[in-house]
Structure 1
Amino acid sequence: MSPQLISIAVLAAIFLIGTLRSINLGALAFVAAFVVGTWVFEDHSPEILAGFPANLFVILVGVTLLFAMAKSNGTVDWLVQWAVRAVRGRVAAIPWVMFAVSAALVALGAVSPAAVAIIAPIGMAFALRYHINPLMMGLMVVHGSAAGNFSPLGVLGVITNGVVERSDIPGSPTFLFLSNAVFNLALAAVIYFALGGVALIRQGKRATEEPVNEEDPTATGNATSSAGSVGVATRTKPAVQTLTLNRDRTITVLGMVGLAVGSLVFDLDVGLMAMTVAVVLALASPETAKDALGQVSWGVVLLICGIVTYVGVLEAIGTVDYLGTTIAAVSAPLLAALIVCAIGAIVSAFASTTGILGALIPLAVPLLGTGSIGAVGLVAALSISASVVDSSPFSTNGALVVANSPKDKQDTVYRQLMIWGFSLVLIAPLLSWTVLVCMGGW
């Protein structure tokens, strides 16, 4: 077996072991980079670690630290309250509020699982209280977070645009973000109207903040614990008082605005800016910052840095060129593009979307070199295919939806998510490939 095939087999083993044994893929990837680089290609540590993404590490730590502090000081809860008040408490609009808030959090830099972990319990509390289909609410949160995935400030956007730039592929961060957002918005519309949205509109109910009667059968302990401070009625205690903008929340909101302006207008480093805002918050309120460092998504940081480091080893030893040339050798370039998108969707349904994108986008370089495929369209199609399947119950986002569903409906939600997730495995690559690669010509 050639060294390139050995490195590919190791990459497949990484995803298989990580899926079956719940071991962090990043840790496995670091071990793989060490083993493959040292014993197969006889590289030394400096060469093996040359692909470590230091800039990406700073971005991930800075952004997740900032959002951990925003969650601790109540800024995230304030944003949700503000969004609900903006629709005047209309129950029919609440699923869309959850969609929009999830999208905004991820677009501003929160990792998608973190946003779902924050918003899903709140959304499920609303679903329980106002008899909204829990599957609808969960999917609106998941696809809301997916809609914000490829923002220039978002983690996946930073990763994907960085890989595109390093691979010398023509890219368009704006097109990538908007095409993914439109795709998920369309999915959300299908979800809403297929799972009870019309009935909610006809009922015309409004959200209230009065305590639920002790005998109310719809009120449960789950609603109490997950409602947080958004004014959702519960059985065991009255609704929490409406949050207002205090000093810490004001600083956080201004910091988020400054992060967006500095990154988009002045092209300042996202990670260093996020770290700066987090430090300012820590100086202003040390008690809030005390536990925030422990809430940084270190697992995500390890996963992404490990995968990118191993992909760097693959690039250095020629495996990426070998695979890309093999795919490009497929007689029909359009078919080769569809194969790449399908691989991304299938593997991402079980494994890490970030890891898959970091590994697959470089493989498309030789295919794009033929000139038969538009680079911008293929990158967008691959990104959409690999990210929308995060609603699978085997992914982190899907699992969070199941975990936060009412206990008597968890089995049902699990089965329905499995059907939905694996339907997208088939539909998303074909649809995105048709629109963005075949018809688009971008």
Structure 2
Amino acid sequence: MVYAISILALVLIFTIATKVPINMGILAFAGAFLVGGWVSGIPIDDIVDAFPGDIFLIVAGITLLFAIAKANGTINIIVESALRLVHGRRWALVWMMFLLSGALMALGSPMAAGMLAPIAMRLAGKKKINPLLMGMAINHGALGCAFSPITIYGAFVNGLIKSAGYEANPLLLFIVPFALNTLFLAVLFAIYGRDLLHELPEDRDEITGAGASSGAPTRPHPSPGSGTASATAVLPDVDVIGHTPFNRERAATLIGILLLAVGSVAFNVDVGVSSICISTVLLLMAPKKMPRIEDKVAWPAVVLVCGMLTYMTVLKQNGTLDFLGDAATHLGSPLAAALILLYAAAIISAVGSSIGTLGIALPLAAPMLAAGELGALGFISRWPSPPPSSTSAPSPRTDPSWWPRPMSKTVNGSNAASWPTAAWSCSSPRWWPGP
């Protein structure tokens, strides 16, 4: 009876959160106390102790740091420098946005796609680039680097792997999703971006003038004998965001982000603690320039992640996860059970929380992984990427006129249908290391 109520409550949490504008984490916290305390008889103190304080620090600290970076113009400097490298080439803009989104995500920014979406959509309109292709470029760039050790996803999944008794391999967990998302964008580029290989006349003007100007903005110049500016002069792409000068605060922010990455990867420094400390130093350098910056922290994401993990811990304590995992192993074929899990996760993450789905589905696969019937890293690292409607995707509200909603829904469905099959086909322990 306890298992049935726990599963029903989980279904209700996902269903209600997708139908009404209530944070899934709030529902999960309520479910944890009701199912844990009232139904399962777990002491309230034990449920409170299940709150993931380390994950709270990671999500809050990372989002605070990148809120500061966005507010003080550091993100604009990074984007501006990247745009100067492509010299107006349309095909290169798509791949630069892919790499830039991936780099920001790899450095820990959970909203990399959301920050770049307005700029990317304006560039798509200016350069006559298919907006779906541009949107998917920044989306898959972020998804490809989502399992960096210092991101929310990376820290979360690596923690799950270690808690399940496996030796985590952060490098492999990072490389495999990046390769898959790069391949996926290459397919999309072959379909929607072949015309970008042929430059527009104004692009050729900009590329020709790029070498002489060393990437500086090209300004209209007087025509011979006219005394007036030429109407055909083309402004470079950096004018989409405007020029942001380099100063002390922005230099310190770049150094802080670099220290965060190096410290966490090379010296195993806690990401949450270091990001909070770096953010504090940056705020002390300019306390009056960023009032109420704490409002920019992704508190909905903090509540969602912590709530889902708390409820997951309750399900583990009352035996529901073990019950579901054992039931999955009795399906007859571990690979069939894996396929069901992957498809369920793809569908749920399309309308709900991707990280919440990870927190529930990965423990369900634990019995099969422990038995060696599935390759642990192969199964986890090839987890299906969330489609464009998930929380990591750029919002169509960034520029409704340039976001083809029907095409986005088509790719949404294609992702949910294709990624689980690709992941399932590579879950054999013959190809990937297990425990």
Is TM > 0.5 for Structure 1 vs Structure 2?
A: yes
Aligned partner of 1:403 among 389, 397, 400? 397
The structure with the greater share of residues assigned to helix is 1
Match of 1:220 in 2: none
Question: Aligned partner of 1:266: which letter?
Answer: F
Match of 1:70 in 2: 69
Conserved in 1, the CA contact under 8 Å of 2:140 and 2:185? Answer: yes
Aligned partner of 2:126 among 125, 129, 145? 129
Give, in whole Å, the separation in 2 of the partners of 1:13 and 1:89. 49
Post-superposition CA distance 1:368-408 (Å, at most 9, x none)? 12222111111112x3x1xx2331x3x2344x34222342x
Change (3 A) 1:401 1:206: farther
Give, in whole Å, the separation in 1 of the partners of 2:427 and 2:95. 26
Q: Residues 25-424 of structure 1 correspond to what in structure 2 (within 5 A)?
A: 25-111=24-110, 114-196=111-193, 198-203=194-199, 205=203, 230-232=238-240, 240=242, 242-381=243-382, 383=383, 385=384, 388-391=385-388, 393=389, 395-398=390-393, 400-407=394-401, 409-410=402-403, 413-424=404-415
Conserved in 2, the CA contact under 8 Å of 1:138 and 1:401? Answer: no
Match of 1:434 in 2: 425
Give, in whole Å, the separation in 1 of the partners of 2:256 and 2:3. 46
Give, in whole Å, the separation in 1 of the partners of 2:114 and 2:367. 38
Larger deviation, residues 148-157 vs 289-298: 289-298
Conserved in 1, the CA contact under 8 Å of 2:339 and 2:424? Answer: yes
Give, in whole Å, the separation in 2 of the partners of 1:341 and 1:406. 32
Change (3 A) 1:48 1:32: same
Question: Aligned partner of 1:403: which letter?
Answer: R
Post-superposition CA distance 1:87-106 (Å, at most 9, x none)? 23322211111111111111
Post-superposition CA distance 1:42-93 (Å, at most 9, x none)? 2232111221100111111111100000000111011001111122332221
Give, in whole Å, the separation in 2 of the partners of 1:436 and 1:370. 14
Give, in whole Å, the separation in 2 of the partners of 1:35 and 1:124. 44
Give, in whole Å, the separation in 1 of the partners of 2:254 and 2:100. 14
Shift, 1:436, TM fit: 4.3
Change (3 A) 1:278 1:187: same
Question: Aligned partner of 1:425: which letter?
Answer: A
Give, in whole Å, the separation in 1 of the partners of 2:386 and 2:37. 35
Give, in whole Å, the separation in 1 of the partners of 2:29 and 2:400. 39
Change (3 A) 1:415 1:17: same
Give, in whole Å, the separation in 2 of the partners of 1:70 and 1:427. 36
Conserved in 2, the CA contact under 8 Å of 1:107 and 1:154? Answer: yes
Change (3 A) 1:90 1:370: same
Shift, 1:262, TM fit: 0.7
Match of 2:15 in 1: 16
Normalising by structure 1, we get a TM-score of 0.88
Shift, 1:245, TM fit: 2.2
Normalising by structure 2, we get a TM-score of 0.89
Larger deviation, residues 327-336 vs 200-209: 200-209
Question: Aligned partner of 1:178: which letter?
Answer: I
Unaligned runs of at least 5 residues, structure 2: 207-216, 221-230
Give, in whole Å, the separation in 1 of the partners of 2:113 and 2:336. 34
Give, in whole Å, the separation in 1 of the partners of 2:47 and 2:61. 25
Conserved in 2, the CA contact under 8 Å of 1:59 and 1:271? Answer: yes
Q: Percent identity?
A: 36
Larger deviation, residues 71-80 vs 85-94: 85-94
Give, in whole Å, the separation in 2 of the partners of 1:243 and 1:439. 52
Across the aligned residues of Structure 1 and Structure 2, the Cα RMSD in angstroms comes to 2.1
Change (3 A) 1:48 1:296: same
Conserved in 1, the CA contact under 8 Å of 2:375 and 2:429? Answer: no
Higher gyration radius (CA): 2
Unaligned runs of at least 5 residues, structure 1: 217-226, 233-238
Conserved in 2, the CA contact under 8 Å of 1:104 and 1:148? Answer: yes
Give, in whole Å, the separation in 2 of the partners of 1:298 and 1:118. 16
Give, in whole Å, the separation in 2 of the partners of 1:43 and 1:323. 19
Conserved in 2, the CA contact under 8 Å of 1:69 and 1:288? Answer: no
Larger deviation, residues 199-208 vs 285-294: 199-208
Question: Aligned partner of 1:199: which letter?
Answer: D
Post-superposition CA distance 1:222-266 (Å, at most 9, x none)? xxxxx9x9412xxxxxx73x2232111110111111111111111
Change (3 A) 1:417 1:99: same
